[in-house]
Structure 1
Amino acid sequence: MRPSNYRPDIDGLRAVAVLMVVLFHFRLVPYADAGFLGVDVFFVISGFLITSIIVSNTLDGSFRLGRFYANRIRRLAPALLVTLALTLVAGAIWLFPVDFRELSRQALLTQFYGSNFYYWLNVNYFGLTADTVYLLHTWSLAVEEQFYLVYPIALLVILRTVPRKLWLLIWVAGVGSFLANIWLVSDKPEAVFYLLPTRAWELLVGAVCYQLVEKRYRHSERSMEGLGLLGLGLIGVSIFCFEKDFSVPGTFAALPVLGAAAVIYSGTGVETIVAKGLGLRVLVYIGRISYPLYLVHWPIDVFARSYFQHSYETAARAGMLGLSFAVASLIYHLVEAPIRSSQGSSRSRRLVLSYALSLVGTVGIFLLSEATGGLPRRFPDEILRIMAFAEDHTESSVDCAYDEERGLAASSCTIGSAGAEPTWLVYGDSHAWAARTVFDVWLKQRGESGRFVFRNSCPPLTGLHLFGDQGTCNRFNAEAAALVLESESLENVLLVSTWRQAIESRLSNSPFEMISREEGMDLFARQFSETVFRYSKEGRRVHVWEPVPGAKGNVPRALARAMLRGQPDLGESLSVSTQNYRATYAFFFDVVEENRQWITRTYSPASLLCDPHLCAAMLDGKPAYFDGSHITKSLYEHWVGMMAAADRNAIGEARSDRRSIERVEP
């Protein structure tokens, strides 16, 4: 039974919010690049409803904090537990050990409503990778629950001490949170996106909306009609006018937030056109199942991407959307609605106890997964052998990763012959990190040593920025150049990168400006020329690691999946064509040729992997990459051989005479 003050238009607004999110994630609406802003609409609705419950019940003396939290568990836990259980079961069937281990960690953090902290530190939502994180969407649940933990207590304290200051303090907190969001969104975008302090303003706008509703201001029906249409318009503008260089939440999130508040306010006591539209039965129903739909759609989508791979086209995505609706409806009717309607203290105690037991179960799954390395015995030994290459990489060395606070010199580490004075600086992006063992062994063979440092995604070129990285890449390269030019012993520089940043529209003149692909390629050409010329002019020998060809997918995972399906070896189908490789990196090779006089030597991974037709994804029957582009550590001898052959200007010897290369253990 619905309460007398039930508003179907708010359920309809929930439907709008969840449809924004799921259609965006399933990529079913062209040009709608900001469907994720549906979460901001949810926050406003939550802030409005939760404030109305707490304030009204406190004022009439019926509010009990324990009952409030029990109701929160009754409202949120059942659907979440079913979703986690289904996701873990699917993961146990489908995921490889390394992925199931990661899933069990995320499930544990999700149930404790702390997943937003984990994703803040480990995941880039707009790009662990977002597409392979099965519970990424639970960050918003964590933010809401953290708000629910603090907000009721704060309201109770205010209402019992300085009740007349309640709305002033809510306004101050909301404005403060909004200003913090604007101030920090450029410097700390991940923190602003995932954490409560810079998201609280969205919930507090809902609280202020409730305040205005309770003031019972008199408005004409026409003005309320206009306000409702304006609110929907703001939400629509936020969906279709979003640009990739916008920082979020930032100021842009004010559009859906204020739009949602306007829709809620306009529907108070007046049956506007917008309220009637949102009150349509189909929208109300979608609004009622919006919570389980939000929960299940993302893991279904991510599992489907993993299963269908390149064949995950529009029809398959639409099918997965339909499956999401079906599963959400079942959860709502069989689990969520019956439990939510159950009342009584004994039932509340049983519910809390059940939730506590489920926490114990999730902890147990996590501990078992950690102890066994992701339950590996689910797979045959041959599959595990192939999947081992997914972790066949250089150790994650914090000592060699650029740390802005410590500076580049302190962040770098020594490679090559022990005791020798460093004469090389080897630096670049994650491809430098992946090849660190190669450079270490290669320098040992030469009887030399060097300094090594890397910064993820950052090409080793001075005078440019990565969009959105707050200038860190620029400072990394400036410090690298200063280290080389101020040190007489560092006579050699080896620049290592994927070199794809230019064609991926990631380069910029400023960390806050997104430029076109063509402008980025021009910027790359200028700064590459400037960097190698500057080093050469100052008497340094410049060496360049050419781009690796890469593969058409994650090589170990694709091979293992093919074996499980009984398909033939996918090594060849994962390989890229030599023609495509040369065409993709033509911009790079052209710039290298233009600056050949300033470059001492280039090292070509393609010389080892490519024939006239294909650039192989396999080497000696093993994956050449631990993902789709970073080279595996165990094949270091091949790469050292390639570099040694380049040094002798006899690249062909790297393939035909591997035995002539002295073996040096990393």
Structure 2
Amino acid sequence: MSIESRKFRDDINGLRAWAVIAVIFYHFGVYGFAGGFVGVDIFFAISGFLMTGIVVEGLERSKTSPFSVIEFYMARARRILPALIVLCAVLLALGWKALPPLDYKMLGTHSVAGVSFLSNMQFWREAGYFDTQSHEKWLLHTWSLAVEWQFYIILPLVLVAVWKWRPNRQAITLVMLTGLMVSLASSIVVTQTAPSAAFYLLPTRAWEMLAGGLVYLLANRLVITASTRTAFEIVGFALIIGSIVGFDSSSSWPGWRALVPVIGTSLILLAARSNSIWTGPTAIQWLGTRSYSLYLWHWPIVVALTYLDQQNNPTYILTGLVLTLVLGNISYHLVETPARRYLTNMSMRKNAAVLLSCAIAVTVAGLGVRLNQGVNGRLPAEVEAISLESKNKNPRRDECLLMTGVVSPSCTFGGSELQAIVLGDSHANAVVSAVVSAAPSSNSAIMEWTYSGCPTIQGVHHPVQRQCGEFVEWAIQKLKTIPSNIPVVIVNRYAQYAIGANENIGEDNIPQVYFSKPYQTSEPDFIDEYSRNLKDTACEIAKNHTVYLVRPIPEMGVDVPTRAARAALAGTQKPIYVSLADYNHRQAFIWKAQDAARDQCGVKILNPLPYLCSDGRCVGTKDNQPLYRDDDHLSESGNKVLVPMFSEIFGNKDITAPVAITNASLTH
């Protein structure tokens, strides 16, 4: 029996239908499917069951017909690659006329990651699955294919090695059970400490596939009555439905919670009930046979609704669901089935040549798009100009914005007479040129001390930027060597470190830093400690210098140039803004801490809101041009609206003896 000719089980096919329905309805935002993402966990368990069966049966026949790992890989490639390659090619072709450079560059990157089955690692490095930005990535859903493929690569190698050691199912069962326990324990721990890694990476997902594999190994050893099979199926579907209804995007995942749908799937696989009312109906079987193509095509349609800002429009959602069925069916009939039939009848060498050639073609196209920065010149000049505002950042950002280490490069801008020092994180780096523009003369100089992801607060501990606290201490000590008539302008994205980034769903109230001890949530004690240390740090610096604390820059929560370019391409000009009420709600404790510093030690406050906000809104664009280069950093053109605000520094400053910048004054 070949790898492709194993007995068809309509219960597994029906279970696939349940999984794909759950995922599709979840992504389209259908009410009642808040936990529909568990469909992927169902797919994982099914894959483990089927792949373990293929490998173990092949090993057991190896005396008469040697098991070929390469043939196993080629069978998986014939199943997965053709439809995936077509999807990537179609999206790249459509994107040529429909996507601004930044979006197109991202699609090129993700196409390469998709066909090379590395997309789970790519998306892990970018953002969490439940983040708002993820809904703008056309190939996000390929992460699960990457996890499965990586499992497919490792599984036969491990099982062949075990078979050589002990050629029996007991040894394989022991090894797979050990792997499951290690992977599950890792998943539970890592879900709490590094949730994005736990979600995307194989080591914390392998247990779900191993669970399915163990079901296969145990199924033939168990004698299960008809009534028990029925009970298993009912309980299994109860667990799956309970997961779909009971979990949502706020649930830590996978971790222990993923046990619920995986156990449910395992029970249904053990039940093995054909022609069941749960899995047997014609419509369910139809969906099951097309589940892979439906999965592939539904997500780009969801992203398209996001691009059109119609993700909550019932008419568009219904249209998207119908289109998913149509495209999934077309893909099944015109790509999946003929490709599998055609490739199966070819030699393995020709199989590899055809699939590899097609994959390389998509890879080359994707790399070309990426290396050419999304290929400028495809779209109207206005659209591309808006999109390219994302690159309009401090030209010396890489040189001056510290990413690691303790000592700042002490970059200076302008002339030779030091007028002010700008201290802070990447938000400070984003407005340095506005401070330079506000300086009183062409010979004025502004010095920059900035550290990415590091709030200017003494005693801070940052799990990622581990030298952040040392940098802050260095800056405070270094300022003591700078003449006292040089003011210090402090700019930080304070709220992010205390309560999480506003653009990432699920990160609210999760501190990114700590002081006396780590906190799991931004509880009142932590906020009090954070605010007190913010105030005390400003007052410590104010002992020797005039300090200007800049109120937090409004965060848009969306990538402004990207959104504005899409709107311009579609011929719409929908405003991009955050309401003043939302800004005040997020930043209230920061304002309170800054006010406390003003009242206690006389620091001065600079407020950007009069320049960025009006009529109850803080806007991301002005005259249809982006003020931001992303979701929270002002661009080099956008920061110029704050020049009048920064002019207050020099209007209030009594410069009796200009400080000339010399090598000695920059000695670290």
With normalisation by structure 2, the TM-score equals 0.82
User: How far is 1:459 from its partner?
Assistant: 5.8
How far does residue 342 in structure 1 lie from its aligned partner after superposition?
Answer: 4.6
Quote the offset at 1:286 in angstroms. Answer: 1.2
Q: After superposing the two structures, state which structure 1 stretch, 345-354 or 199-208, moved more.
A: 345-354
Structure 1 residues 612-621 or 284-293, which shifts more?
612-621
Residue 627 of structure 2 corresponds to residue 624 of structure 1: yes
TM-aligned CA deviation for residue 452 of structure 1: 1.1
Contact residue 122 and residue 128 of structure 1 kept, 8 A: no
Alignment-derived partner of residue 605 in structure 1: 608
Taking the aligned partners of 1:145 and 1:348, their CA distance within structure 2 comes to 19
Q: Counterpart of 1:657?
A: none
The answer to whether structure 1 residue 427 and structure 2 residue 431 are counterparts is no
Shift of 1:211: 0.7
Secondary structure (helix, strand or coil) at the match of 2:449 reads strand
State the partner residue of 2:155: 151
* Matching of residues 58-207 of structure 1 within 5 Å: 58-61=59-62, 62=65, 63-127=67-131, 129-164=133-168, 165-207=171-213
Q: Is 1:28 the equivalent of 2:30?
A: yes
Identity of aligned residues (%): 28
* Residue 52 of structure 1: how far off its partner (Å): 0.7
Per the TM alignment, residue 345 of structure 1 is displaced from its structure 2 partner at its CA by 4.8
Structure 1 residue 545, shift from structure 2 partner: 1.9
| Match status 1:248 vs 2:253 | yes
On the 8 A contact 1:9/1:276 being kept in 2, the answer is no
1:497 matched to 2:529: no
Amino acid at match of 2:194: K
Q: Distance in 2 between matches of 1:331 and 1:575?
A: 40
Deviation, structure 1 residue 617: 4.2
Shift of 1:98: 2.2
Cα deviations by residue, 1:101-126 (Å, 9 ceiling, x for unpaired): 22112112211112222222223322
Q: Matches of 1:178 and 1:581 in 2, distance apart?
A: 40
Given the alignment, which residue of 447, 461, 465 partners 1:449?
447
More displaced 10-residue stretch of structure 1: 606-615 or 165-174: 606-615
Q: For 2:343 and 2:555, how far apart are their aligned partners in 1?
A: 58
**What's the offset of the Cα at 1:619?**
5.0
Q: Give how far 1:609 is off.
A: 3.2
CA separation of 1:616 and 1:161: change in aligned 2, threshold 3 A: closer
**Contact 2:45–2:208 at 8 Å: present in 1 too?**
yes
User: What is the CA–CA distance in structure 1 between the aligned matches of 2:317 and 2:455, rounded to whole Å?
Assistant: 35
Residues 416 and 442 in structure 1, CA contact (< 8 A), matched pair in contact too = no
Give how far 1:185 is off: 3.1
Is residue 263 from structure 1 mapped to residue 259 from structure 2 by the alignment?
Answer: no
Rounded to whole Å, the distance in 1 between the matches of 2:641 and 2:343 is 68
Instruction: Assess, with a 3 A threshold, how the Cα gap between structure 1 residues 549 and 531 changes in structure 2: closer, same or farther.
Output: closer
CA distance in 1: counterparts of 2:395 and 2:184, whole angstroms: 40
Moved more, 246-255 or 633-642: 633-642
C-alpha distance in 1 between matches for 2:220 and 2:617: 70
**1-side partners of 2:292 and 2:491: how far apart?**
49
Partners of 1:10 and 1:264 within 8 A in 2: yes
Q: What's the CA shift for 1:291?
A: 0.6
The alignment partner of 1:379 has SS state of coil
The one-letter amino acid paired with 2:645 is M
> How far, CA to CA, are the matches of 1:350 and 1:384 in structure 2?
43
Task: Give the corresponding residue for 2:17.
Answer: 15
Contact 2:581 2:616 in 1 (8 A): yes
Secondary structure of the residue aligned to 2:490 is: strand
3-state SS, counterpart of residue 411 of structure 2 = strand
* Kept in 2: contact 1:245–1:513 (CA 8 A): no
Query: How far does the alpha carbon of each residue in 1:73-92 deviate from its partner, in whole angstroms, 9 at most, with x for none?
Result: 22112211221122112211
TM-score scaled by length of structure 1: 0.82
The residue that corresponds to 1:654 in the other structure is none
The residue number in structure 2 matching 1:660 is none
- The 3 A distance-change label for structure 1 pair 502 and 459 is farther
SS at match of 1:416: strand
Kept after mapping to 1: 8 A contact 2:387/2:561:
yes
**Is 1:546 aligned with 2:551?**
yes
Give 1:419 deviation, angstroms: 9.2
Q: How far is the alpha carbon of 1:36 from its aligned partner? A: 1.9
State the superposition RMSD in angstroms: 3.8
After superposition, the Cα gap between the structure-2 partners of 1:74 and 1:176, relative to the gap in structure 1 and judged at 3 Å, is same
Alpha-carbon offset, residue 167 of structure 1: 1.7
Mean Cα displacement is larger for which, 75-84 or 226-235?
226-235
Distance in 1 between residues matched to 2:59 and 2:511, nearest whole Å: 54
Q: 1:51-95, CA deviations, whole angstroms, 9 ceiling, x for partnerless residues?
A: 111111221234333332222122112211221122112211210
Aligned to 1:324: 324
**Counterpart contact for 2:424–2:455, Cα < 8 Å:** no
Q: State the shift of 1:153 in Å.
A: 2.3
Contact 2:455 2:493 in 1 (8 A): yes
2:230 counterpart of 1:225: yes
CA pair 105-72 structure 1, distance change in 2 beyond 3 A: same
Secondary structure in structure 1 of the residue aligned to 2:223:
coil
Aligned to 1:661: none
User: Which stretches in structure 1 are left out of the alignment for 5+ residues?
Assistant: 651-666
Q: Structure 1 residues 347 and 366 mapped into 2: Cα distance closer, same or farther (>3 Å)?
A: same
How far is 1:476 from its partner?
6.8
Q: Is the 8 A contact 1:401 1:454 kept in 2?
A: yes
Closer, same or farther: CA 18–398 of 1 in aligned 2, 3 Å: farther
Q: Which residue of the partner structure matches residue 50 of structure 1?
A: 51
- Cα separation, 2, equivalents of 1:179 and 1:613: 49
Question: Which whole-Å CA distance do the structure 2 matches of 1:545 and 1:624 have between them?
Answer: 18
Structure 2: how far apart are the matches of 1:399 and 1:628? 22
Q: Is the 8 A contact 1:230 1:262 kept in 2?
A: yes
Question: 1:39 and 1:110 mapped to 2: Cα distance?
Answer: 17
Structure 1 position 532 matched with structure 2 position 535: yes
Q: Does 1:5 align with 2:3?
A: no
* Contact persistence 1:497–1:547 (CA under 8 A): yes
Q: Relative contact order: is structure 1 or structure 2 higher (C-alpha 8 Å, sep ≥ 6)?
A: 2
Deviation at 1:534, TM superposition (A): 4.9
- In the alignment, structure 2 segments of 5+ residues that lack a partner are 654-668
The count of aligned residue pairs is 625
Quick check: 1:131–1:302 contact (8 Å CA) kept in 2?
yes
